[in-house]
Homo-oligomer: A and B are copies of this chain.
Amino acid sequence: MPKNCNFIEKLREVGLRPTKQRVNMCEVLFNREKTFHFTINDLVKMISEKMNQKISLATVYNTVHAFEKKGYLKEISIDSHKSYFDTNTSAHHHFFDEDTNELIDCDENDIDPVNIKKNITGKKINSVEVLIKVASDNQNQK
């Protein structure tokens, strides 16, 4: 979803009714220069701040999952206990900064493609994701 586009049309194209809530969520999520990572709680805050309008938590969950199913969002799993979503839906890998709990995209130059030599028999590979956990270089052993 590029910027400045008509979200109403985009929603209709994939069979989602362009409701006020969904269009607002599109604005918050996709009307920006760069992709980003967020939790559901982040998003609820962003919506109520940017749109200055209340939205039901259930709607945020429903809509995020609808967008995920349509390929507009990807879910990223870190440490269990917390679900991150990503507006960058291309296949890519992540650094996770354990100091700040921040999820950071790997650039193509940061990591060589993963070479899988042998797959499970009779199965198809749906995704390959690398998660690199990093933390402060200091004496903080743990």
Q: Known: A110-B116, A114-B111. Is A133-B137 also a contact (CB below 8 A)?
A: no
Q: Are B127 and A130 in contact (CB under 8 A)?
A: no
Q: In the complex, A134→B134 CA distance in Å?
A: 27
Distance (whole angstroms) from the CB of A24 to the closest CB of chain B: 25
Question: A129 contacts which chain B residues (CB < 8 A)?
Answer: 130-131, 133
Give the distance in Å from the alpha carbon of A130 to the alpha carbon of B91 in the complex. 13
Interface string of A2-14 (1 = CB under 8 A from B): 0000000000000
Tell me which residues across on chain B come within 8 A of A133, comparing CB atoms.
Answer: 125-129
How many identical subunits does the complex contain?
2
Within the assembled complex, what's the spacing in Å between the Cα atoms of A83 and B133?
17
Interface size class of A (residues with CB under 8 A): 35 or more
Contact assessment for A124 and B134 in the assembled complex, using a CB-CB cutoff below 8 Å: yes
Does A66 sit within 8 A of B, measured CB to CB? no
B123 pairs with A134, CB closer than 8 A: yes
CB of B130 within 8 A of CB of A134, answer no
Cα A122 to Cα B78 with chains together (Å): 21
Q: Is A126 a contact of B98 with CB atoms below 8 Å?
A: yes
Give the docked Cα–Cα distance between A129 and B79 (Å).
12
Shortest distance from the beta carbon of A40 to any chain B beta carbon, whole Å? 11
